[in-house]
Structure 1
Amino acid sequence: MDQERPIPPASPTSPAQPALNPTLRRNIDALVARRKAVQQRAGPEEKAAAAISRFAGSMTFVYIHLVLFGGWILINLGLVPFLPAWDPTLVVLAMIASVEAIFLSTFVLINQNRMAAEDDARADLDLQVNLLNEHETTRLITMVDAIARHLQVERPEDPEVEELKRDVAPDAVMEEIAARNGQA
C-alpha cells in the first residue's frame, strides 16, 4: 500500500515544509525516467556485473564467506573431529579465494566503468546548464546596467560590473587551469 507520509505540523522553531512545486516534480520525474531508461538499455553483461557487485558489497556476502571460509579452515585444521580434513595446507582455499578475487574485481571494474560513463554524462549536463546560466546572468547584468543608464540612475563606477558583462569563454578557462596545473 503506497501512502504518502504526512508532513508534521510546523513548530514555532521550524518552518513548515513546502510542497514540491510542479517544475521540481517534473524535473524529478525526468531524472527518474532517465535513470530507468539507462538501466533498461544496459546489456545482460552489465546487469549481471551490477548485480554481482551489489551482492559482493553486502553484509550477506560477508556472512556467507565467514561461514564458508571459517568452516573450511576449522575443518581442515582438524578442529572439527568428526569431519576429515581435505585441504590441511589450505592451498585449495587460497586458490579459490584468489580466483574469486579476480572475478569480483573484474565485475566491480565493469560496474565502475558504467558508473563513470553515467557520471560523465551528468557532468556534461551540469556544464551545459552552468554555461547557460552564466550566459543568462551576463545578459541580465548587461540589461540592468543599460536600464540604469537609460533611467539615468546614479551609480558609482565599478570596474567589476564591466567585467561581469563579458561572456565567459569555457575553453580559455580550461586552458588556463591546465596551464597553472602544468598540463599545457
Structure 2
Amino acid sequence: MASMDRNRRHANASELNNLVRRNIETLLAVREKMERGKTHREMVADAITRFAGSMPFVYIHALLFGGWILLNLGIVPWIQPFDPFPFVMLAMIASVEAIFLSTFVLISQNRMQALADKRADLDLQINLLAEHEVTRLIGLVDDIARHLGVTSGQDANLDELKRDVRPEEVIEEIERAARDRPGT
C-alpha cells in the first residue's frame, strides 16, 4: 500500500515537473521570439543602456573625467591644459552624453513597459479564465452535494461564489472605494 502511494506521488510529481518544464520552455520561447522581433534601433538602445548601467562604464568615466581634470589643473607638468575655461568643455560633453543616455534609457524603458503591459494582459486573461473555471467547479460540486443529499450548513457566500466575477464591476468598485476613502 505504501509503495502504491509513493508511486502515485512520484507520478503526480513527475506530471507536475513536466507541466512546469513545459511552461518554462514556453516562456523562454516567447521571450526568444520577442528578442528576435526587436528592431535594430531597439537592439542598439538596449545595448547602450546595458553598457551604461555597468561598472566598466563607471570605470571608463572615472578615468576619462579624472584624467581630464588632472590634465586641465596643470598637475602634469609636460602637458599644457587644453580646456581654456575651467572644465566648460567637460561639463558640455557630460551634459550632451547625459541627454543621449537618458534618451536611450527611455527607449528601453518604453519597450519594457510595452512588454510588461502584454504580460499583464495575459495574466488578466489567465486569471479570468481560472476564476471562471473555479466558479463552474463550485457550482458543479454544489450540484453534486445536493444530488447526494450532503449538506454542510449552506455557506452564506455560496450563491455569490457560483456567479462569475465581472471585471468591470470590480474596477468600478475599486474606483468607488478610492473616491470614498478619506484623505484621497
Stretch of structure 1 that moved more, 73-82 or 117-126: 73-82
Q: For 1:27-78, what per-residue CA distance to the aligned partner results, in whole angstroms no more than 9, with x for missing partners?
A: 1111111111111111110000000000000000000000000000111111
- In the other structure, the counterpart of 2:151 is 154
| Deviation for aligned residue 1:179 | 2.6
Q: 1:72–1:175: structure 2 CA closer, same or farther, 3 Å change rule? A: same
Distance 1:53 1:111 in 2: 7
- Pairing partner for 1:77 from 73, 76, 85: 73
Q: Which amino acid aligns with 1:56?
A: A
Q: For 1:102-121, what per-residue CA distance to the aligned partner results, in whole angstroms no more than 9, with x for missing partners?
A: 00000000000000000000
The equivalences for 1:112-151 within 5 A come to 112-151=109-148
- In the other structure, the counterpart of 1:8 is none
The equivalences for 1:1-184 within 5 A come to 21-87=17-83, 88-182=85-179
Q: Which amino acid aligns with 2:64?
A: L
Q: Secondary structure at the match of 2:157?
A: helix
* Superposed structure 1 runs of 4+ greater than 3 Å apart: 17-20
Q: Which amino acid aligns with 2:95?
A: S
Q: 1:78–1:19: structure 2 CA closer, same or farther, 3 Å change rule? A: farther
Distance 1:135 1:182 in 2: 29
Q: For 1:117-153, what per-residue CA distance to the aligned partner results, in whole angstroms no more than 9, with x for missing partners?
A: 0000000010011001100111111111111110001
| Deviation for aligned residue 1:82 | 1.8
Q: 1:19–1:103: structure 2 CA closer, same or farther, 3 Å change rule? A: farther
Distance 1:19 1:79 in 2: 71
Distance 1:112 1:156 in 2: 53
| Deviation for aligned residue 1:20 | 6.8
TM-score, structure 2 as length reference:
0.86
Distance 1:57 1:29 in 2: 29
Q: What is the percentage of aligned positions where both structures have the same residue?
A: 59
Report the count of equivalent residues.
167
Distance 2:52 2:179 in 1: 40
Q: 1:134–1:69: structure 2 CA closer, same or farther, 3 Å change rule? A: same
Distance 2:43 2:176 in 1: 41
Stretch of structure 1 that moved more, 94-103 or 165-174: 165-174
Higher helix share: 2
Distance 2:65 2:14 in 1: 52
Distance 1:116 1:84 in 2: 49
TM-score, structure 1 as length reference:
0.86
